[in-house]
C-alpha cells in the first residue's frame, strides 16, 4: 500500500515540485511552493467550489430537508423524490463534502510528505528519468526567508487567513432570527481555528507554513466568489454592509 501511495501521489508531487523549481520558479523553493499550491487548487477548483457553496447553504438546506421529511414522513418514496428535487433546485450534491475529503486528504498527505522531506533532498528513486535533478535546492523564499525553519511572519499570516476564511464561510444570519447552537459553535471555531494553526506551525518548517498560507488564501478568494454569486442569485441574505 505504501508503495502504491508513493508511486501514485508522492512521486508525482515531488516531480511537479522539481519541474516548477527548475523551469518556472527561478530556482526559488518559496516561489515553487506558491506555484505548486496554486496549480493544485486550480486543478481541484470545481470540487472546492462545490464544497464552499454547499457549506454556505447548509443551514438553509437543513431546515428545508426537515420540512420535506416531516411532510412525507409516511411515504419514503415521495420523501426521496422531494429531497432529490430540493437538491436539484439548490444545485448541490449532499455527498460533496464527503467526496471532497476523500480526494483532498491523500493529496494533502503527499504534499506534507514532500515538503517535510525536501530539506533532506535525495532525488534518487523519486525523480523521473526525463527530468534532470538539480544538485541542490535553494531553500529560501526570495533569498530572504529560510524555509527550513519556522517563520513568525508566515505563521501569523496563516492564522489570520484561517480566521478570515472561517468567518466568510459561516452561514448568513438573517435579521431577527435566533442564533442556533450550530451557528454559535461555528463562531467559536472561527476563533479556535487560528489558535490551532499557530500551535501546529509554530515548530514546523516555514515551507509547510507557506503552503498552508497560500492554500488558505486561495480558499478565501474562492469563498468570496461563491458568496457573491449566491447573493446575486438571492440564495443567501445580503447584509447592509455586503459582508459575509
Note the pLDDT tens digit of each residue in 111-139.
Answer: 888 888 888 877 777 888 888 888 888 98
| 17 inside domain | yes
**Which range among 1-10, 57-66, 168-177 shows the weakest confidence by mean pLDDT?**
168-177
Within 8 A by CB and 6+ apart from 83, the residues are 65, 68, 69
Q: Quick one: pLDDT at residue 186?
A: 61
CA distance 177 to 136: 59
In which domain, by residue range, is 164 found?
2-232
Cell of 190: 472561527
Angstrom distance (rounded) from CA 228 to CA 219? 14
- pLDDT at residue number 150: 92
Share of the chain above pLDDT 70, in %: 86
> Does residue 226 belong to any structural domain of this protein?
yes
Answer yes or no: is 243 within a domain. no
10 in any annotated domain = yes
Is 21 contained in some domain? yes
Give domain status of residue 244, yes or no.
no
In a domain, 165, yes or no: yes
Query: What is the chain's Cα-based Rg?
Result: 21
Give the confidence band of 158 by pLDDT, cuts at 50, 70, 90: very high
Pairing mode of beta strands 140-141, 145-146 = antiparallel
Rounded CA gap, 244 and 238, in Å?
A: 8
What pLDDT, on the 0 to 100 scale, is given for residue 198? 92
CA distances (Å), origin 73, targets 30, 60, 62, 76, 82: 56, 20, 16, 7, 11
Mind listing the pLDDT tens digit for each residue in 1-59?
A: 567 778 888 889 999 999 999 999 999 999 999 999 999 888 888 888 888 887 777 77
d(CA 204, CA 193): 17
Q: Is the residue at 239 inside a domain? A: no
Average pLDDT over residues 138-164: 93
Q: Which residue has the cell 446575486?
A: 232
Of 159, 149, 134, the closest CA to residue 208 belongs to 149
Please tell me the number of Cα atoms within 13 Å of 18 on its side-chain side.
24
**Structural domains of the chain, count:** 1
Amino acid at each position: 500500500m505504501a508503495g502504491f501511495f508513493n508511486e501514485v501521489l508522492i512521486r508525482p508531487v515531488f516531480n511537479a515540485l522539481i519541474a516548477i523549481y527548475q523551469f518556472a520558479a527561478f530556482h526559488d523553493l518559496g516561489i515553487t511552493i506558491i506555484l505548486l499550491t496554486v496549480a493544485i487548487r486550480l486543478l481541484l477548483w470545481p470540487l472546492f467550489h462545490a464544497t464552499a457553496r454547499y457549506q454556505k447553504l447548509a443551514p438553509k438546506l437543513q431546515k428545508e430537508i426537515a420540512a420535506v421529511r416531516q411532510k412525507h414522513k409516511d411515504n419514503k418514496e415521495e420523501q426521496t423524490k422531494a429531497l432529490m428535487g430540493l437538491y436539484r433546485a439548490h444545485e448541490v450534491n449532499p455527498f460533496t463534502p464527503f467526496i471532497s475529503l476523500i480526494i483532498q486528504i491523500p493529496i494533502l498527505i503527499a504534499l506534507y510528505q514532500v515538503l517535510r522531506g525536501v530539506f533532506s533532498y535525495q532525488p534518487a528513486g523519486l525523480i523521473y528519468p526525463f527530468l534532470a535533478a538539480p544538485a541542490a535546492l535553494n531553500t529560501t523564499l526570495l533569498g530572504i526567508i529560510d524555509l527550513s525553519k519556522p517563520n513568525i511572519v508566515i505563521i501569523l499570516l496563516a492564522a489570520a487567513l484561517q480566521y478570515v476564511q472561517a468567518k466568510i464561510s459561516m452561514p448568513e444570519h438573517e435579521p431577527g432570527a435566533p442564533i442556533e447552537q450550530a451557528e454559535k459553535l461555528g463562531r467559536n471555531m472561527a476563533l479556535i481555528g487560528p489558535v490551532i494553526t499557530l500551535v501546529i506551525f509554530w515548530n514546523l518548517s516555514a515551507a509547510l507554513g507557506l503552503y498552508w498560507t497560500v492554500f488558505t488564501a486561495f480558499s478565501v478568494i474562492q469563498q468570496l466568489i461563491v458568496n457573491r454569486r449566491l447573493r446575486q442569485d438571492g440564495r443567501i441574505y445580503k447584509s447592509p454592509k455586503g459582508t459575509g
